Structures are given as structure tokens and as C-alpha cells.
């Protein structure tokens, strides 16, 4: 007995359209992004951060505020243990240009 393919056509068209949109989005993002790099000095600085949020204003900089954040947690989900380690260093500088 032959298999009727007509009922599968709408599903195939939807999947094809979804794949085409995904492919186009991936190409557009690839065109606009740049190749990143890993700086070992920055990696070491993130590893040396203390846990929590810290902010300060440097004495030699006016209009500048620095912040550092680190969160380390252990998460257990369905018998698997994951370690979450998030670190961020940020600088906000506001200068008046003449």
C-alpha cells in the first residue's frame, strides 16, 4: 500500500521555512560579528575576583566608576552537578569634551 505524502507536505514546508530563517539569521549574525580573542591577563583578573559586588571610584580619575562582580554557585539538577562561575569587570566613565 503506497504511503500518502500529501499530509506531510505542510509539516515539511514549515520545517523548511524555519530552517531557511535560521540559516539567514546565522549568516547575518556572522557578518556583523567579529572574531573574539581570549586575553589571558583578563582571564586571570576574573579568576582573582572576590565573590560579591564591589564598586569604587579611583583617586586619580574624575567621573569614573569601576565595578566588579563574581558569583559562584553549585547547582544540582537531575543528579548532575554544575558549577556556575560568573565574573564581570566594568568601567563607567563620563567625561565632558570641549
pLDDT digits (tens, 9 = 90+) for 7-63: 889 999 999 999 999 999 999 998 988 888 888 998 898 888 889 999 888 888 778
- pTM more than 0.75: no
- Identify the band that residue 84 occupies on the pLDDT scale cut at 50, 70 and 90: very high
- Identify the band that residue 2 occupies on the pLDDT scale cut at 50, 70 and 90: confident
pLDDT surpassing 70 at residue 1: no
Between 97 and 21, where is the model more confident?
21
Q: What mean pLDDT is predicted for residues 67-74?
A: 93
Alpha helices in 5-62 (DSSP H): 9-32, 40-47
SS3 86: strand
Amino acid at each position: 500500500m503506497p504511503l500518502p505524502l500529501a499530509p506531510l507536505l505542510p509539516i515539511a514546508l514549515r520545517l523548511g521555512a524555519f530552517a531557511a530563517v535560521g540559516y539567514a539569521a546565522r549568516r547575518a549574525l556572522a557578518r556583523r560579528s567579529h572574531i573574539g580573542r581570549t586575553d589571558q591577563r583578563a582571564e586571570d583578573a576574573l579568576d582573582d575576583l572576590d565573590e560579591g559586588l564591589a564598586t569604587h571610584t579611583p583617586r586619580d580619575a574624575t567621573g569614573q566608576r569601576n565595578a566588579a562582580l563574581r558569583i559562584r554557585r553549585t547547582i544540582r539538577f537531575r543528579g548532575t552537578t554544575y558549577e556556575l562561575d560568573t565574573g564581570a569587570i566594568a568601567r563607567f566613565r563620563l567625561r565632558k569634551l570641549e
